[in-house]
Structure 1
Amino acid sequence: MTTQKPSTRRLVVVGSLNMDLVMRVPRAPEAGETLTGYDFATHPGGKGANQAVACARLGGKVTMIGRLGNDAFGHSLRDGLIAEGIADDTVGCDEGTATGVAMIMVDDSAQNRITLAPGTNAKLTPAHVEQQAALLDGAAMLILQLEVPMPTVLRAAELANRYGCPVLLNPAPATSLPDSIWPLIDYLVPNETEASLLTGLTVTDPASATEAAKILLTKGIRNVLITLGAQGVLIANSEGVQHLPAFPVDAVDTTAAGDTFIGGLSTGLAEGLPLGDAVRLGQRAASVSVTRHGAQPSIPYRAELDS
């Protein structure tokens, strides 16, 4: 059962909902190769839904804005949101389009390879967000990713700024962004690959992440947090640069680790924690998630961290 703190304000997630089809494999197959895997499972996923679930399990009060199909995967994903206490009345249904699907291979080194069929996620329009804009009034954070159309992401950020709601953007999957979105972002949270694409630098460690973060700050972003996997998180803003090392763990599956981190970070900020403490909450949650298989099944509850 999710534990919520009374002072926590609403977190609004605009993003994707997918059913994850997960196969564990010894390694990635070569082109044209048929490789025998270990096992197969279906799990609720999608970066938007993963981040919403992470916020809810870590103590946040969450509303999700997205789209699902009228199919078995869609019904299952909606049931999952409801079970987590996430408001789903803003998740629409498209009769003629299948729910989004992600095919995920996880190898013996715990690395994942993911391909997406966006399905109804591609049907989330700026108009859908505009219909729910009042939710942003007084909200603690708008949380965005890039598995829904870019015009929808941009419009959501514009509306959040109109209502004085902070915006967190996880620029994943990695892609270029329109210049107009940069000054709308309060918290940009890329990983090494995404930071590399956005800056043209090769980001591999805290030193190169520092250089990338300096470039991103010049675009008008207020806080840049670059996640570096086992090397921790780099925080950069007008106050300077800080590197927080990761908690050492034996990882078995990194799927949704970044989403779990964002859930902890966002929930901590919604509770009024200082940025560094909110980052550590996200890191603690992510360090648990990588010791478990799957996306949403790996996300811990706040009580697990507190104990």
Structure 2
Amino acid sequence: MSTLLVVGSANADHVLTFDELPQAGQTLISQQYRLELGGKGANQAVAAVRLKNTMQQVYFISALGDDSNAATMRTNWTADGIDLSGCYQIAKKSTGTAVIFVNQYGENSIGVVPGANAYLSAHHIQQQHALFAQANYLLIQLETSLESVHQALILAKQNHCTTILNPAPATKLNNDLLNLIDIITPNETEALALTGIEVIDQQSAQQAAQSLHSRGVNIVIITLGSKGAYISEKGQGSIIPTPTVNAIDTVAAGDTFNGALMVALDEGKTLIEAVEFANLASSIAVTRNGAQSSIPYRKELT
């Protein structure tokens, strides 16, 4: 079996839909409310386990509260087939929570209360060293503490595990951390935060990618929404288009992309093939409402 490891956040998502996203100081009446399971780490783990082949096993390291949301998450993830031996319960803390506003075009604005996610520590990560020793790939984001992210990347590199960082939410990162990353997958906003370069076309995407290469990252994949993804390796870059669909909710699109990317690379697909696979998976996710409820299964990609 091939081991795929995801480290990251888990949230209960409170989703409100509107024709237009509320502006500062504006109050709008939501058309619909629903509670969804989300969090970038959990979404990516779910994407990986639903899109994997029969010879891959997905493990998820995270921190949950001691509430009913945590129990529901564990039940659902186990049903999907995720191994939760690295999932911690933090006493007297709530599970992470997100409030998501979605408009009629599928665009969203998200506010997050970290809850138990903030308590996933470097010590917790170190306790799971055996998982890192057997993992082929590590996929991680920035919704847990930077100390936990840094420790996970260090353990992965010590064990010759390929590292993928989805640098969300957008923030600046130092070179010590970037030097531990093999593949980075920012969107346009995250690329701006990392490089100071506004990505508006292929030329600016190339400039942002070169900036990240110069700081130690081998492969840069800048996701561009409906325009696809810009990939850059060894200074050579190109845009891989995504299928044209009617998007209604983009909440888990990036997470689906990242989970699918890890699965495909672990299968031995080329970078272009892996990004095409990831684009296809995320293009299905945006045609459905919700976070984990929108993520497709592998049989749907054929």
Say whether the fold is shared (TM-score over 0.5): yes
What is the match of residue 224 of structure 1? 220
2:32 to 8, 29, 39: 39
Partner residue of 1:141 out of 137, 140, 147: 137
Aligned 1:61-100 pairs, distance under 5 A: 61-100=57-96
- Structure 1 counterpart of 2:285, one-letter code: S
The list of structure 1 runs, each at least 4 consecutive aligned residues, that deviate by more than 4 angstroms after superposition, is none
Q: How does 1:119-134 map to 2 (within 5 A)?
A: 119-134=115-130
Residue pairs, 1:158-307, within 5 angstroms: 158-238=154-234, 240-306=236-302
SS state at 1:140 partner: strand
For structure 1, the residue ranges without an aligned partner over 5 or more in a row are 1-7
SS in 2 for 1:175: coil
Tell me whether 1:19 sits opposite 2:12 in the alignment: yes
Contact persistence 2:143–2:168 (CA under 8 A): yes
**What residue is the counterpart of 2:47 in the other structure?**
54
- Counterpart Cα distance in 2 of 1:206 and 1:232: 11
1:239 Cα offset (Å): 5.8
Could you tell me whether the CA contact under 8 Å between 2:117 and 2:144 is conserved in 1?
yes
The change in CA–CA distance for 1:220 and 1:31 in structure 2 (over 3 A counts) is closer
8 Å CA contact 2:4, 2:135 repeated in 1: yes
Which has the larger displacement, 33-42 or 251-260?
Answer: 33-42
Q: What are structure 2's unaligned runs of at least 5 residues?
A: none
CA deviation profile, 1:90-134 (whole Å, cap 9, x unmatched): 101112111000000100121000000000000000000000011
Instruction: Return the alpha-carbon distance in structure 2 between the equivalents of residues 41 and 81 of structure 1.
Output: 19
Cα distance in 2, alignment partners of residues 30 and 275 from structure 1: 39
How far apart are 1:207 and its partner, in Å? 2.0
The TM-score with structure 2 as length reference comes to 0.97
How many Å apart are 1:299 and its aligned residue?
0.5
Paired residues, what number?
299
For residue 12 of structure 2, give the secondary structure of its aligned residue in structure 1.
strand
Alignment partners' CA distance in 2, 1:238 and 1:33: 47
**What is the aligned-residue RMSD (CA, Å)?**
1.0
Taking only the aligned residue pairs, the percentage that are identical comes to 43
Q: Equivalents in 2 of 1:73, 1:91: separation in Å? A: 14
Q: 1:94 to 1:138 in 2, by over 3 A?
A: closer
* Cα distance in 2, alignment partners of residues 33 and 226 from structure 1: 33
Instruction: Name the structure 2 match of 1:3.
Output: none
CA–CA separation in structure 2 for the residues paired with 1:165 and 1:184: 11
Q: Distance in 2 between matches of 1:237 and 1:295?
A: 30
Distance across 1 between alignment mates of 2:300 and 2:163:
28
